[in-house]
């Protein structure tokens, strides 16, 4: 039996996380087994527990990683570009590479308190990023926070509802288009306040 190096072990762990992130977003938490995850990473099932205490630990790590990715996209400074991306057909159709929140919030609601805490922390981080962006206006912090929650819930809901429709459904595109316009219109009125 050949012993693997620390660097190889870290590379294996990163590959497991990367593959799991894609697979969870595509199939949901319950739609992917540990054997599936390890097979996709090119590793044996038994090696999983050398890297993670449980599947739930891996779920929390992939959720945190995916949430960081969407925060980086939102933190780019151009909120209109972010809204256009988030409500695009490309994002809607690209579940496995898209926002973890849009793909897995429904699943997270049925998971452990640790997974829910990871999602709650992610939501707070996203809201903080939006609030710091000053696109929601200055002034009353409660109003700014309410606008941030409204905008993110609107974005997330648009993608979730659109994904619930058949891929070729005109309604799928209509939901994205209407929500994009409404969000952008609400931002335009905010900047006039």
> Given a cut of 80, is residue 75 above it in pLDDT?
no
Alpha-carbon span 186 to 141, nearest angstrom: 17
| Listed range (62-71, 134-143, 158-167) with the worst mean pLDDT | 134-143
Domain annotation for the chain: domains and CATH numbers: 59-192 (1.10.357.10)
More confident residue, 138 or 25: 25
Model confidence over 45-54: pLDDT tens digits?
A: 888 999 999 9
- The torsion angles phi and psi of 121, rounded to 5 degrees, stand at -65, -40
Q: What angle do CA 171, 91, 81 make, to 5 degrees?
A: 105
Looking at residue 110, its pLDDT comes to: 93
Model confidence over 80-98: pLDDT tens digits?
A: 888 898 999 999 999 898 9
Looking at residue 74, its pLDDT comes to: 66
Average pLDDT, integer, range 152-167: 96
Average pLDDT, integer, range 149-176: 95
Looking at residue 135, its pLDDT comes to: 58
Model confidence over 110-119: pLDDT tens digits?
A: 999 999 999 9
């Amino acid at each position: 039996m050949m012993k693997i190096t620390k660097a190889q072990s870290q590379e294996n762990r990163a590959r497991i996380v990367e593959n799991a992130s894609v697979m969870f977003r595509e199939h949901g938490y319950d739609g992917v087994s540990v054997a599936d995850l390890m097979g996709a990473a090119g590793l044996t099932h038994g090696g999983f527990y050398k890297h993670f205490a449980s599947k739930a630990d891996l779920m929390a790590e992939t959720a945190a990683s995916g949430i960081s990715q969407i925060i980086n996209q939102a933190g780019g400074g151009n909120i209109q570009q972010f809204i256009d991306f988030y409500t695009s057909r490309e994002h809607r159709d690209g579940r496995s590479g898209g926002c973890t929140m849009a793909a897995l919030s429904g699943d997270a609601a049925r998971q452990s308190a640790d997974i829910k805490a990871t999602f709650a922390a992610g939501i707070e981080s996203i809201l903080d990023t939006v609030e710091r962006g000053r696109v929601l206006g200055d002034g009353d912090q409660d109003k700014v926070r309410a606008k941030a929650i409204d905008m993110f819930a609107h974005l997330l809901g648009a993608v979730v509802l659109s994904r619930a429709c058949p891929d070729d459904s005109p309604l799928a595109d209509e939901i994205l288009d209407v929500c994009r316009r409404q969000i952008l219109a609400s931002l335009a009125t905010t900047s006039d306040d």
